[in-house]
Amino acid sequence: MINLKNSDPKFKWEIIKKEGGEGLLKCFGCSDCAASCPVRYFDERYNPRKIIRLTILGMRDKVLSSPFLWFCAHCHACTERCPQGIKVAELINAIKNYAVEQGYCPDGYKMQLELLQKMGRLYEVEDFDLKKRQRLGLPPIDKTIPEVAKILEQTNILKVLKK
Amino acid sequence: MKKYAFFLGCTVPVRAQHYELSARNVAKELNIELVDMPGASCCGFPMKAVDAETSLLIAARNVALASQLQLDLVTLCNSCTAMLSDAQLQLTNKEFHDKFKRLGLSYPYEVKVKHFVRMLYEDIGIENIRKSVKKPLNPLKIMPHYGCHYMRPSHLYSFDNPEIPHTLDELVRVTGAESLDYADKMMCCGGSVLGIDEDLAVTMANHKLSIAKDLGTDAIVSICPFCTVMYEDNQRKAEAKFNTQYGIPVLYYPQLLGLSLGFDGNAIGLRFNRIKPNGIMKKIAM
């Protein structure tokens, strides 16, 4: 049940300002995105149309606190079929980015962020891996790429880890 | 000779060396030079859901490394391809380019980003590959799995058909193998939700595995390390969850192509495939 008394009229404008959020108000609710969605095909708890409608209606807490927001696989099946030309996967991503800003970052992403800060890559390159590469005749690779941490500092994204 | 900067990403160089090895050997055979990119990092995609701008800057730095080499860039991973293609496009936007420059980076050469398989299709071409095939893989029935970010979103790529794709099918057929046509060809492997809900991810992977079994598939051909994680590494979990048996090998496309070019198992790292493709090797030896 949606109670519009809880609606935050500013919410949709916050999303529109985010990278990828521009198309939000073009949605007329046809549900092509939900019909094309491979995640929704298997689990109806995720429904991109519902997330977009709730966002337009200003149901801020309902959208941001939903664990199902993170079910979007970013596969772009929806983007290809939206009759309004909305980059739907980018729009859902904009809502995820906003949720992160508001303190709703899943732990898995925090872990990945820490790995990137430490190594600049997701998997640690151990001596074992380098030896295996050498045996196969593959060239060596850098164990760490510290330049990635510099980018993370510039965009101030590491503050996510403190929330 | 065609020459490209070779972007490996996170997964391939430590978890899928057989993909890298087979791609390098196929490239050598087809007279393609792959130039390594010292200092290349994660593509940035894993951070997109956290902050799109951060992920794009990480990606743009990698594109800039290719730009310093004055080379177009090829990747082995679908998501790396999408992320780096997006960054390449963003670099034409002044506001983004200014942020990029503040990192002390420069972009002297306009880089084209391509998946390795797209490069084979567009820059080498089916007819040229056909001339190099020494051992047609006629008896094999192969299920091509494209993966989402090979040609989607189409506004980044303008390549192949995002609803009814054909390029990987053609590349499978040029090896002499049959490329199976099947429903839900563009179904997602589930890899992107593996970290959020493993049960859902395995259910998604199972969909295509069950189709593969019904069609009597000899092997699924993948072009993305994450899709392979779902169809190969998680195949046992799908079997357990759905109380069935698959045992379907998953080959990377350069491995399949390598077999048709006459390579032995070592040259394509066949012993690193977790589901042993012994059945395939027997069939093609006959």
Mean pLDDT over each residue of chain B, to the nearest integer: 97
Question: Which residues of chain A neighbour B148 with C-beta distances below 8 Å?
Answer: 73-77
Cβ within 8 Å, pair A108-B192: no
User: Which member of A71, A142, A148 has the closest CB to residue B196?
Assistant: A71
Which of A101, A122, A156 is the best mutation test for B, with the most CBs of B within 10 A?
Answer: A122
Residues A37-56 have pLDDT tens digits of: 999 999 999 999 999 999 99
- Topology adopted by domain A7-101: Fumarate Reductase Iron-sulfur Protein; Chain B, domain 2 (1.10.1060)
Question: Which residues of chain A neighbour B155 with C-beta distances below 8 Å?
Answer: 79, 87
CA separation (Å) from B141 to A20, B44, B208, B215? 41, 36, 15, 9
Q: Which pLDDT band holds residue B192 (cuts at 50, 70, 90)?
A: very high
Task: Give the mean model confidence (pLDDT) for residues A104-131.
Answer: 96
- Whether pTM > 0.80 for this model: the answer is yes
> What whole-number percentage of chain B has pLDDT above 90?
99
Tally the C-alpha atoms within 13 A of residue A51's C-alpha that lie toward its C-beta: 29
CA A150, CA A153: separation in Å to the nearest integer?
5
Q: Which residues of B51-77 are buried (b: 16+ CB within 10 A; e: fewer)?
A: bbbbbbbbbbbbbbbbbbbebbbbbbb
Distance from chain centroid for Cα A98: 9
pLDDT at residue A2, rounded to an integer: 84
User: Which member of A18, A136, A145 has the closest CB to residue B41?
Assistant: A145
Question: Which residues of chain B neighbour A93 with C-beta distances below 8 Å?
Answer: 48-49, 52
Q: Which pLDDT band holds residue B41 (cuts at 50, 70, 90)?
A: very high
* Dihedral sign from CA coordinates of A26, A31, A33, A39: positive
Nearest Cα residue in chain B from A106: B196
CA B223, CA B218: separation in Å to the nearest integer?
17
pLDDT at residue A54, rounded to an integer: 97
Question: Which residues of chain A neighbour B52 with C-beta distances below 8 Å?
Answer: 18-20, 90, 93-94, 97
**Structural domains in chain B, sorted by start:** 2-116 (1.20.1050.140), 133-285 (3.40.50.11810)
Residues B123-167 have pLDDT tens digits of: 999 999 999 999 999 999 999 999 999 999 999 999 999 999 999
pLDDT at residue B286, rounded to an integer: 74
Which of B7, B43, B54, B202 is the best mutation test for A, with the most CBs of A within 10 A?
Answer: B54
Residue type, A71: F
Q: Which residue has the higher pLDDT, B61 or A6?
A: B61
Q: Where are the domains of chain A?
A: 7-101, 107-162
pLDDT at residue A162, rounded to an integer: 83
A133, pLDDT greater than 80: yes
pLDDT at residue A161, rounded to an integer: 85
- What ipTM goes with this model? 0.97
Backbone angles phi, psi at B166, to 5 degrees: -140, -15
